[in-house]
């Protein structure tokens, strides 16, 4: 029995694509985008078992950070940002905050995006001086509207979340939040203003 193969674009060079080709690709794109939450979860799981010298692994740290934010009454988007703030550790150990911020940017507010993007500079206050770096690097942002938000994130949720004895919700607790946050991008190159 012959099964029909899925329709595929017929061009071999993008300049040759037709409306029909791009409709096929667009349909596949939206289906692929719809599964982004599961791919993010799978990537987050790569942090399991990686302690990097800390008392707990990076996944537990991420879960603790999100647990603290949730218990403090932060909204779902903020909690998901807390959960994913270090997801870049695997692919971008030299710029992990940037990697996480790029992943979150289409789906979260500008304030939460800025907080995740800059959290590494803010957390550096606790250890940069041990590495011969300026621990006060975050001071360059003192007049930025999201400075206090990011400072609070570090002091209340990120920095305390390295405790092997601390309460930590399971990833399954956060999955519905992730699903809602990643359901639809708020801004993207691939979304027209008329959409």
DSSP assignments along 1-62, one per residue: -PPPPPP----SSGGG--HHHHHHHHHHHHHHHTTHHHHHHHHHGGGTT--TTSSS-HHHHH
Structure tokens at 51: 């302690």
Q: What is the pLDDT of residues 171-192, one digit of tens each?
A: 999 999 999 999 988 887 767 6
Residue 194: pLDDT band (50, 70, 90) is very low
In contact, 81 and 105? CB cutoff 8 Å: no
pLDDT tens sequence across 21-77:
777 667 766 666 668 889 999 999 998 888 888 889 999 999 999 999 999 999 999
pTM (predicted TM-score): 0.88
In the chain the domains, ranked by start, together with CATH numbers, are 36-181 (1.10.3210.10)
Residue-wise pLDDT for 3-35, tens only, equals 665 778 777 777 877 888 777 667 766 666 668
Note the pLDDT of residue 10.
Answer: 78
- Name the residue with higher pLDDT: 9 or 1: 9
Measured CA to CA in angstroms, residue 186 lies from 105, 106, 108, 191, 195 at distances of 9, 6, 7, 9, 11
What is the percent of the chain with per-residue pLDDT over 70, rounded to a whole number? 89
């Amino acid at each position: 029995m012959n099964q029909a193969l899925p329709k595929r674009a017929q061009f071999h060079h993008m300049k040759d694509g037709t409306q029909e080709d791009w409709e096929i690709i667009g349909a596949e794109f939206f289906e692929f985008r719809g599964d982004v939450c599961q791919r993010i979860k799978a990537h987050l799981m790569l942090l399991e078992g990686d302690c990097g010298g800390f008392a707990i692994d990076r996944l537990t740290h991420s879960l603790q950070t999100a647990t603290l934010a949730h218990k403090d009454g932060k909204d779902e988007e903020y909690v998901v940002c807390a959960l994913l703030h270090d997801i870049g550790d695997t692919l971008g150990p030299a710029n992990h905050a940037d990697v996480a911020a790029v992943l979150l940017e289409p789906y979260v507010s500008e304030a939460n995006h800025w907080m995740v993007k800059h959290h590494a500079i803010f957390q550096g206050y606790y250890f940069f001086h041990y590495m011969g770096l300026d621990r006060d690097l975050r001071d360059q942002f003192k007049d930025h509207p999201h400075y206090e938000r990011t400072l609070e994130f570090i002091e209340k949720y990120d920095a305390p979340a390295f405790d092997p004895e601390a309460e930590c919700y399971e990833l399954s607790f956060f999955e519905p939040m992730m699903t809602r946050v990643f359901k639809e991008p708020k801004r993207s190159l691939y979304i027209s203003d008329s959409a």
